[in-house]
Structure 1
Amino acid sequence: MAREVESILVGVDVSKAELVIARNDTDQIETIQNNVTAIRRWLKSIPSGSKVAMEATGIYHRQLARRAHEAGHELFLLDAYKLSHYRDGIGTRAKTDLADARLILRYLSRELDELKPWVPPHDAFYRVQSLMRRRAALVQTRVALSQSLKDLPGLKQVARQLDQHIHRIEQLIARRIKETLVEVGWYADAQRCDAIEGVGELTSMSLANTFHRGRFKSSDAFIAYLGMDVRVRDSGTQRGRRKLTKKGDPELRRLLYNAAMAARKTAAWKGLYDTYVSQGLKPIQALVKLARKLARIAFALMQNQAIYQPKTGS
């Protein structure tokens, strides 16, 4: 009877061109090209059911993550911020690909029980997220150009035309986002969110896309994924400053903040906003708290497949 091969722990440092790999069953470091052929060949060389950890690095980790998950291995995407502080905490001075691969392996070995396995999202999630970010970049560019050119004599008409062209592209991107959500059956959830006072179409579509990123156990988990949960740092009688973790998509947080700015002017939410301010919160803090409230309501609507009942005011 053949002896069953035990699974191993693997730490991978990811870059655009290559993957540097550390394993717990050998002191040797392996380097392979970051392409489909090399990844598939390497995955066949490790025992089934192995646990593979890597740092989320833009888009460069996605190929390995998806292929490893398809091959039946457990995947763990590590937070770059936490990993950096872990490096400082254990006194590692070197910052090289080789050192990082070993650092990731060490983190996986010691923190495995606290880590949550990664589950790949639907391809539509990445498509919509990418479109949202490109639209945000266009908005920033349009505003910057408008401010830069408005005082130049003789360019007013040209600047207006440029602004209109960029705005047209923004609209086309928004239409493509909607088409993608309709295609995968997520647009109904966007419509649920769109019914909330202050929440516009883009914000609702981004909320629906994020909701379908994975299974969230509660609204707290959803808020944490958005990076809108609060980091608390208290010690003894010292009460530290509360800050948002800001771990999620910055564009969705911006959209939710804008939604809160619109919502505070409505009869439905003006009373709650005023209550936050009367409790001692600064206007920005009150808006963030209101944005978090809107996100929780959106989550509840999508989670329960419910229809929003408009508020009549406080």
Structure 2
Amino acid sequence: MIESKLTVIKYFIGIDVSKATFNYCLRYGGGHVLNGKVANNVESIKEFVITLKEISGFKLGYAIFGMEVTGVYGLILINTLTKMKAKVVVEPSMRIKNSLGIIRGKNDKLDAARIARYLIKNLQELKLWVPRRKIIDELSSLSTLRERMVKVGVIITTPLNEDTNFIDPAISAANINLCNPSIIQIEHLITTIDIKIKALYTNDDHCNRLMKIMLSVMGIGPVTALQMLIHTNEFRSITNARTFASYCGVAPFEHDSGTSVKKRARVSPLANKRIKSLLHNGVRTCIANDPEIKAYYKRRVQVDKKNKMSIGYSDLYYTTHSEA
């Protein structure tokens, strides 16, 4: 389906997005190149597309827009182009950079040109951006807010707890009394966010069904399940266990070359570290509470002399495959 859509592409628009503006590089007709800069707002984006349509032979269905993952800065552009039924590709910057070989220099105009070149070079392998439902955007925003509040709470409480053993008790008690109202408010806010998150996914049949399935697995709690739901876009952008294991950084990769290089398989540092840490905590819960997994873990560590961390990752890799 996607391949048939991409075979008609004749216009490649690489876009480098920043907060206030974005640079674009249009390549078409073999050697024609058009560069420019546009304000990053809805009205300017619509005018930009109208300008493109003035090019002889240009049709939105024959064009593909590519950009790097830039977080919130790219949302206006992505949403506006999607509403106009344009084909959009959003790729990690490292994937684009690694695909272009040795490159030197960097500026916004050059980056846009490189993205356009990436689109041309990898046309048949591109995956069109799949828009998220509004509820996933809401859950993602609330999840990010909750994570910030947890970090703020840790920043306040950790030094207070450490001070109790090293500074004057009266000074320590005074500092704790000063911070207690803020700590209580942060805890209340986190609880309120949790209630809001649960209400959102519970009232949506599809999200609620997926959350129930994930929460039925030992070691998977609400925070881990929510992150999996958000980052897989309801398991639409990541659809199989092998891809998910690689995305989380728990899949081992070989490192061999000829007869002289024979290294042990290792997990890659290129991963979603947030989900990886949550899954690691889930494995620790399983080891502590599931007799079968606990016995397996002890055997691998004590009898097979395997590294404790590697056993945890192998358990994660096995679990993601067996649950698929």
TM bucket, shorter chain: 0.7 to 0.9
Q: What is the Cα deviation at residue 58 of structure 1?
A: 1.2
Q: How does 1:66-215 map to 2 (within 5 A)?
A: 66-86=79-99, 89-90=101-102, 92-150=103-161, 151=163, 153-154=172-173, 155-185=175-205, 186-211=207-232, 212=234, 214-215=236-237
Q: Normalised by the size of structure 2, how large is the TM-score?
A: 0.80
Q: 1:32 aligns with which of 33, 38, 54?
A: 38
Q: Normalised by the size of structure 1, how large is the TM-score?
A: 0.82
Q: What is the Cα deviation at residue 199 of structure 1?
A: 1.7
Code of the aligned partner of 2:78: A
Contact 2:242 2:320 in 1 (8 A): no
Q: What is the Cα deviation at residue 213 of structure 1?
A: 5.2
SS across alignment from 1:196: coil
Within 2, Cα distance between the matches of 1:124 and 1:293? 31
Q: What is the Cα deviation at residue 176 of structure 1?
A: 1.6
Q: What is the Cα deviation at residue 48 of structure 1?
A: 1.7
Q: Which runs of 5+ in 2 are unaligned?
A: 1-7, 54-58
Within 2, Cα distance between the matches of 1:187 and 1:164? 30
Q: Does 1:288 align with 2:313?
A: yes
Q: What is the Cα deviation at residue 206 of structure 1?
A: 2.6
Q: Does 1:18 align with 2:21?
A: yes
Within 1, Cα distance between the matches of 2:196 and 2:243? 29
Contact 1:233 1:240 in 2 (8 A): yes
Code of the aligned partner of 1:167: E
Within 2, Cα distance between the matches of 1:207 and 1:215? 11
Q: What is the Cα deviation at residue 191 of structure 1?
A: 1.8
User: Structure 1, residues 169-211: CA drift from partner, whole Å, max 9, x if none?
Assistant: 2222222221221233212321222122222222223333444
| Residues 34/275 of structure 1: CA separation in 2 closer, same or farther (3 Å cut) | farther
SS across alignment from 1:193: helix
Partner of 2:68: 55
User: Structure 1, residues 228-258: CA drift from partner, whole Å, max 9, x if none?
Assistant: 434443322313462335433x332222222
Contact 1:198 1:262 in 2 (8 A): yes
Q: What is the Cα deviation at residue 55 of structure 1?
A: 0.6
SS across alignment from 1:52: strand
User: Structure 1, residues 102-135: CA drift from partner, whole Å, max 9, x if none?
Assistant: 1111111112222222211212222222322222
Percent of aligned pairs with the same residue?
A: 23
| Residues 179/67 of structure 1: CA separation in 2 closer, same or farther (3 Å cut) | same
Contact 2:14 2:25 in 1 (8 A): yes
| Residues 96/182 of structure 1: CA separation in 2 closer, same or farther (3 Å cut) | same
Q: Which runs of 5+ in 1 are unaligned?
A: 301-314
SS across alignment from 2:289: coil
Q: What is the Cα deviation at residue 276 of structure 1?
A: 4.4
Code of the aligned partner of 1:287: G
RMSD: 2.6
Within 2, Cα distance between the matches of 1:175 and 1:82? 38
Code of the aligned partner of 2:309: I
Within 2, Cα distance between the matches of 1:290 and 1:170? 31
Q: How does 1:297-312 map to 2 (within 5 A)?
A: 300=324
Contact 2:12 2:116 in 1 (8 A): yes
SS across alignment from 2:73: coil
Structure 1 window deviating more from structure 2 (173-182 vs 50-59): it is: 173-182
| Residues 16/195 of structure 1: CA separation in 2 closer, same or farther (3 Å cut) | same
